[in-house]
Amino acid sequence: MTKPFSPIDLHAHSTASDGSLSPLELVQRAAKRGLHTLALTDHDTTAGIAEAQAGALQQNTPLQLIAGVEISVTWNNQTLHIVGLNIDPEHTELQAGLQQIRAERELRAHKMAEKLEKTGLKDVYQSVKAFAGGGLISRTHFAHYLVEQGRASHVRKVFQRYLVAGKPGYVGAQWATLEETLHWIKQAGGIAVIAHPARYKITRTRLKKLLDAFKALGGQGLEVVSGSHSLDDNFQMAQLAQYYDLLASMGSDYHGAAHFWLELGVLPALPAGCRGVWEAWS
């Protein structure tokens, strides 16, 4: 079966967070794969955007680089990801907010390292920090370290065994509120999009409650098509987007080799009836 392809991909990670390609390598890959629009949406940082933007201008085929960010949010005791698209990455209030979240990440990383040391590992924080290569620390970096230590054969397994709620390396965190996140994105001139909405382990009732809250706070977009959704998920999210009058986004959530099952631009088209989020900026 041939894989579906979209020249627009609005969700991707670089080494500035937990992706394995540098921002320049990422735009090179996007151009080579025939994309014309790519959003860089690292977790809680915009540190990779300048390099990605400069890199996009050097490609032989036109590549529009959309400045983005994927913000970690705690809503009703649940972690959610809100993508901000077409933001001004320099905006002071946004930057101050992201800085706070990264401080929480640092704190969590130290606590996770301490917990993992109780399972017989040594110098966990320093080792994981090295995997993060100077960028922020995500659970993905812990996963790579634990695979290297032989605790599981691959990243997905290691998440199941160590890094999810109830497991020995898991530490909860208090991320940003939905309200402040939408405020920062709006102040920075961007469009807020609920990332991979079908991936949260919540009931349909709660998802609708989230959409009500998101709409009430001025949220505008839903990631209808995601690399981590099934085709059925995409169709269900398309119906919700129409019902809630939200713009539809599409993104692979590419992380490089770290999440080998995702690839830039490997996405089906938006289901009929959706309005693409790019209408907001083009």
Q: Report if residue 159 touches ligand AMP, rule: CB under 6 A.
A: yes
The DSSP element (H or E) to which 78 belongs, if any, is strand 78-85
Q: What DSSP designation does 223 have?
A: E
Choose from Mn ion, ligand AMP, none: what does 155 bind? Cβ within 5-8 Å by kind: ligand AMP
Give min distance, CB of 245 to ligand AMP, in A. 28
Dihedral, CA atoms, 24, 25, 30, 33, nearest 10 degrees?
150
Q: Is 45 near ligand AMP (CB under 6 A)?
A: no
β-strand partners of 191: 85
Please check whether residue 199 is in contact with residue 228, taking contact to mean a CB–CB distance below 8 angstroms. Answer: yes
Which one, 39 or 56, has the nearer CB to ligand AMP?
39
For residues 203 to 242, the per-residue mask of contacts with ligand AMP, x marking binding by CB under 6 A and - elsewhere, is ----------------------------------------
Q: Which of 46, 72, 181, 249 touches ligand AMP (CB under 6 A)?
A: 72
- The contacts found for 147-154 with CB under 8 angstroms, 24 or more apart, are 149/121
User: Which residue(s) pair with 80 in the sheet?
Assistant: 73
Torsion of CA 41, 1, 7, 61, to 10 degrees: 110
Cβ atoms within 10 Å, residue 262: 20
Report helix, strand or coil for 38.
strand
Residue 151 engages ligand AMP in binding (rule: CB under 6 A)? no
Binders in 119-138 for ligand AMP, by CB under 6 A: 138
CA 214, CA 149: separation in Å to the nearest integer?
Answer: 41
Stretch binding ligand AMP (CB under 6 A), from 3-11, 26-34, 46-54, 153-161 = 153-161
Site for Mn ion contains 9 (CB under 5 A)? no
Q: Using CB under 6 A, which of 94, 155, 195, 210 touches ligand AMP?
A: 155
Give residues in contact with Mn ion (CB under 5 A). Answer: 18, 70, 81, 195, 253
**Which parts of this chain interact with ligand AMP (CB under 6 A)?**
18, 43, 72, 138-140, 155-156, 159, 255, 259
